[in-house]
């Protein structure tokens, strides 16, 4: 009996020693600490301080993290998607099982948060304000779909994820793609591009912050098109969606200009023969640029904005240039019309 006890103690000590010698990644270790109980990650803690993986985990910061509720879990600003991707890569590098466990818990959270209609909210489970809206804004939904696509394709290090996620990921991708096709804004029956967020029930374009009106959103639409172009054996509906979006970008490009908001200068479009630009937002029906201010007012010209908003937001960008000049022609050559 005593020998059996000694063997048990010895085995425990051996396991502890092996674990202590297991390679670690300093950022991954912090991600383990920041992960919330539901599997997601916050972009801000309960006191609204921003998550910063460069910051030392002081007793005060640890107390803030511990007091942050699950409702702060989000997909905004790459939260959760960033951590899942990093942890999978950290596991591939170190073989530290704690990282893979945390990543898979994050994947469970992603799958749980998806709506029946295929969309994802900005936050889950918090439904206050615009947080429950189907959110393409800042590529939130596309980031999640890209992770699920990597799981389904067993690529970008996601081959380490448990195979039980393969079918789940494939089903979620089908639902997500269906949501994308259904939410593509149509003008007189003609598909255009997408809004940044949608009402979760009606699936109609919705506003978010005061300066983010319900409108066509160029930056997010480029990300959506890239996701669709990455699908294997695209259906006729997917092909039609891609072609329509690219046509819209080509029609409304502002050739020979770029957006300059260099510090100390007033933000403006400036001539640049190598570039093309698009406004950040366009009217849902008229395709004319929209600019929102913090007082909820909508302007038709950049010059009409308050100084803080004019230079404090990327109102124009070259988001679609690479898409229409290089990526779409390459995709078209491979996939036909």
**Contact in structure between 100 and 88 (CB atoms under 8 Å):** yes
Residues in CB range of 63: below 8 A, 6 or more apart: none
**Contact in structure between 183 and 129 (CB atoms under 8 Å):** no
Query: How many CA atoms does the CB half-sphere of 57 hold within 13 Å?
Result: 14
Cα dihedral 129→132→136→142 (10° resolution): 140
- For the CA atoms of the chain, what is the radius of gyration? 23
209 is catalytic: yes
**Contact in structure between 117 and 201 (CB atoms under 8 Å):** no
137 is catalytic: no
How far, in Å, CA of 48 to CA of 41, rounded?
A: 14
CA distances to 244, 255, 273 from 329, in Å:
14, 19, 21
**Contact in structure between 253 and 222 (CB atoms under 8 Å):** no
Question: Of 52, 101, 162, 209, which residue is the catalytic one?
Answer: 209
Peptide bond preceding 125 in cis form (omega within 30 of 0): yes
| Other CB atoms within 10 Å distance of the CB of residue 335 | 15
**Contact in structure between 204 and 196 (CB atoms under 8 Å):** no
Alpha-helical runs (H) found in the chain: 2-21, 26-34, 59-67, 81-94, 97-113, 140-153, 165-183, 218-229, 236-251, 307-311, 321-322, 328-335
Residues with a catalytic annotation lie at 77, 209
């Amino acid at each position: 009996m005593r020998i059996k006890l000694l063997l048990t103690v010895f085995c425990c000590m051996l396991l502890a020693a092996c674990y202590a010698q297991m390679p670690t990644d300093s950022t991954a270790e912090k991600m383990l600490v920041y992960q919330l109980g539901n599997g997601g990650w916050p972009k801000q803690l309960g006191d609204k301080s921003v998550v910063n993986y460069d910051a030392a985990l002081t007793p005060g910061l640890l107390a803030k993290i511990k007091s942050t509720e699950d409702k702060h879990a989000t997909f905004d600003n790459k939260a959760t998607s960033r951590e899942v991707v990093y942890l999978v890569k950290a596991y591939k590098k170190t073989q530290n099982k704690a990282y893979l466990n945390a990543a898979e818990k994050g994947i469970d959270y992603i799958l749980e948060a998806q709506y029946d209609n295929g969309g994802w909210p900005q936050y889950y489970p918090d439904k206050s304000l615009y947080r429950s809206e189907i959110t393409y804004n800042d590529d939130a939904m596309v980031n999640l779909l890209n992770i699920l696509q990597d799981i389904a394709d067993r690529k970008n290090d996601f081959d380490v994820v448990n195979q039980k996620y393969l079918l789940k990921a494939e089903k979620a991708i089908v639902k997500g793609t269906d949501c994308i096709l259904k939410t593509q804004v149509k003008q007189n029956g003609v598909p255009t591009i997408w809004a940044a967020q949608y009402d979760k029930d009606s699936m109609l374009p919705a506003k978010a912050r005061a300066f983010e009106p319900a409108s066509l959103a160029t930056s997010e639409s480029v990300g959506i098109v890239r996701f669709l172009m990455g699908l294997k054996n695209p259906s006729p509906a997917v092909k039609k969606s891609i072609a329509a979006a690219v046509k819209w970008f080509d029609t409304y490009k502002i050739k020979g200009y770029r957006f300059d908001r260099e510090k100390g200068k007033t933000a403006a479009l400036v001539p640049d023969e190598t570039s093309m630009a698009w406004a950040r937002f366009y009217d849902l029906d008229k395709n004319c640029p929209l600019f929102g201010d913090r007082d909820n007012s909508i302007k038709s010209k950049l010059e009409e904005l308050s100084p803080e908003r004019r230079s404090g937001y990327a109102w124009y960008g070259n988001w679609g240039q690479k898409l229409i000049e290089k990526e779409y022609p390459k995709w078209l050559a491979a996939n036909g019309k």
